[in-house]
Chains A and B, each alone.
Chain A
Amino acid sequence: MVSQRPDHERIVITGLGLSAPNGNSLAEFRRSLLEGRSGVVAYETRYFGKTVAGVCDFDELKYQRRKEVRRGTRAGSVGIYCANEAVADSGIDWENVEKSSVGIYVGVTEHGNVETENEIYQIKGYDYDTQYWSHHHNPRTVANNPAGEISMNLGITGPHYTLGAACAAGNAGLIQGVQMLRLRECNLALCGGVSESIHTFGIFASFHSQGALARHDDPTKASRPFDLDRNGIVVSEGGCMAVLERLSDAQTRGAKIYGEIVGYAMNSDATDFVMPDPDRQAQCIRLALKRAELNPEDVDIVSTHATGTTTGDAQESQALRQVWDGNGRTLLNNTKGFIGHAMGAAGALELAGNLPAFDDGVCHATINLDRPDPDCELPALVANQPREMRRVDIILNNSFGMLGINSVVIVKRI
């Protein structure tokens, strides 16, 4: 398949920076995925108590001063770490990049809950007297905060904003980057997604009330998409930012190219607050394939979204069977068994973890799949052990979220 677009409209990934619960660089993350290493640990949070979560341990002070960490948010720090790592990884001559031509597009599932809960907790100690409410609350909770902190840290004066897209946000950030480059709104896009969700007790309490929070005596076994014994989501923090450029620019500077974003799609279920709709998910996948001028059987690896909930995994399985039923060559995997659900970062992280397959030809496994659920029948799902493939050219990444938001990104080896 040869892209019909001219090179200046073809958008490629030239840098990746990430922090996942099991790795603070793409190399470390990939190694964990290939070696079956989980990043889920025992965790305790205010009011809710003991649970499990995916916790990141990147060095906040690598790119921030202590004062900046104190002033800002965890999501901001995650974004700053990932953005700096992505820029460094891209090998671009950053000093001489025109900063007004860089756009920052950061996907978030939610933002502001952590900071609001902290303030309420603080003023509780002062009998809820709002005189003790911090003047830092508004700059910390404005929805653009994580993107804005990146802009200040890197001196980027082009556009910056977040995309609130529930758990489809990581893909949404990447898609926005592609679109803005094609519209010539920027010449370089820093995009992806971040999550600080483990620092709000509310997300744990709400999933628990919904009957959708994972629990297991062994934290590393708690996140088990597609498994019969799955019992919910493991909430995680993390981030993944990509440097996107036009193919023509990347080639001019001789950049290393991870792959080209050849297709994408977003759509809406328009049916329910939490229940996904497999028909719309399948539609979204087909739309992305159509835009990429690909057939389902052209895809080598599908990175599934499944989060470990009873209904969600079965619904996505239905959608996948609608598109790939009868096709024996496309392999499927899932990343959440390793790292839990990194919320706004999930889409970008899960795609990034699969991209090295272009080089090493391996489809990483779906771990904790001890008893495959017949309701999630997916014969091509790579279970527990990575699978060597002859060659990987196309990776398709699903990311879906509450309120029926669906997103798909397709990346092709260059």
Chain B
Amino acid sequence: MTAADIQKAILDILSDIAPDEDLSDLKADVPFRDQLELDSMDFLDIVMELRKRYRIQIPEEDYPELASMNSTVEYLEPLMKNVAG
């Protein structure tokens, strides 16, 4: 998966987790929590969906890496480079 693929995958997940939110103007460099109504259970949903959809395991100590779109994509790129887009 390319960075663009990963970004699209994250947006798909977010649209399921936060179905009432408008994601069209999501800023990649701003933390999700500053733009969306997401709590800790929602972040666990992101982790779970990555596990379910792409079999990606994210250890708990790495959860802060999922703060914004940029940091998430940067963190996932090496983990998902062999995942089919």
Contacts and interface: CB of A to CB of B under 8 A. Distances in A.
Interface of A: 65-67, 70-71, 126, 131-132, 134-136
A132 B51 contact: yes
Contacts of A132: 48, 51-52
Contacts of B17: 67, 70
B45 to A, nearest CB: 8
7 contacts: A65-B20, A70-B17, A131-B51, A132-B48, A132-B51, A132-B52, A136-B41
A228 B61 CA distance: 66
Contacts of A136: 41
Contacts of B37: 67
Nearest to A139: B41
Contacts of A65: 19-20
A67 B44 contact: no
Given A135-B44, A136-B41, A126 B52 contact: yes
Contacts of B44: 135
B20 A135 contact: no
Contact of A135 (B18, B19, B41): B41
B52 A67 contact: no
Q: Is the interface of B mostly helix, strand, loop or mixed?
A: helix
Given A65-B19, A132-B52, A135-B45, 6 more contacts: A66-B19, A67-B18, A67-B19, A67-B37, A134-B48, A135-B41
Interface string B6-44: 000000000011111000000000000000010001001
B43 to A, nearest CB: 10
A7 B20 CA distance: 46
B48 A66 contact: no
Contacts of B16: 70
A134 B49 CA distance: 10
A136 B47 CA distance: 13
A70 B19 contact: yes
B31 to A, nearest CB: 19
> Which residue, A67, A132, A134, has most C-beta atoms of chain B within 10 A?
A67
Interface in B24-81: 37, 41, 44-45, 48, 51-52
A135 B48 contact: yes
A136 B51 CA distance: 16
Nearest to A125: B52
A131 B44 CA distance: 12
Nearest to A64: B20
B46 to A, nearest CB: 11
A265 to B, nearest CB: 42
Nearest to B37: A67
A131 to B, nearest CB: 7
Nearest to B40: A135
Nearest to A61: B20
Nearest to B38: A67
A71 B41 CA distance: 9
Contacts of A134: 48
A65 B45 CA distance: 18
Contact of A66 (B20, B41, B51): B20
Contacts of B48: 132, 134-135
A372 to B, nearest CB: 51
Nearest to B47: A135
A134 B16 CA distance: 15
Contacts of B45: 135
A128 to B, nearest CB: 14
A67 B19 CA distance: 6
Contacts of A70: 16-17, 19
B63 to A, nearest CB: 13
A134 B45 CA distance: 8
A67 B20 contact: yes
Contacts of B41: 71, 135-136
Contacts of B19: 65-67, 70
B28 to A, nearest CB: 22
B54 to A, nearest CB: 13
A132 B55 CA distance: 10
Nearest to B44: A135
A131 B50 CA distance: 12
> Which residue, B16, B37, B44, B48, has most C-beta atoms of chain A within 10 A?
B48
